[in-house]
Amino acid sequence: MIDMKTIGLASDHAGFQLKQYVIQYLNDKGLQYKDYGTYSEESCDYSDFGHALARGIENGEVYPGIAICGSGEGISMTLNKHQQIRAGLCWIPEIAHLIRQHNDANVLVMPGRFIDNEMAKKIMDEFFATDFEGGRHQRRIDKIPL
């Protein structure tokens, strides 16, 4: 199981509704979170909130993170510009399992326009329940930063 403290959240307007569900999920599980925005469905830029979440992880304020935008791609690209971030886009639980097990992902990214709440729940359950395997995977992760 992933070692969690306060979970960082970020979304743009297209991910806002799913983020509201994520907040309910975390509250139901008694998990602490910090929401880096956005706080409405008003059009905004995913990069503003992705960078804020990444900085929160980098400075030890939160771990892990959950990020959502319409496709999941834009906010994932933003997060992965940060050297300490390994954000993985998931649309099924099996991918959530693999990004934790093989990539030690520290941010779960979901596509707000393409999955429903039930799928998001399954993805989060898998992400939080899966440990990093280490071994040969650590060697590969060590080669990611530039």
**How many other C-beta atoms lie within 10 A of the C-beta of residue 32?**
11
Q: Which of 51, 82, 90, 102 is catalytic?
A: 102
Known catalytic membership, residue 82? no
**Residue whose C-alpha is closest to residue 34's, from 13, 1, 69, 64:** 64
Is 90 among the catalytic positions?
A: no
Q: Determine the length of the chain.
A: 146
Catalytic choice (44, 51, 69, 90): 69
H or E stretch including 68? strand 65-69
Q: Which residues are catalytic?
A: 69, 102
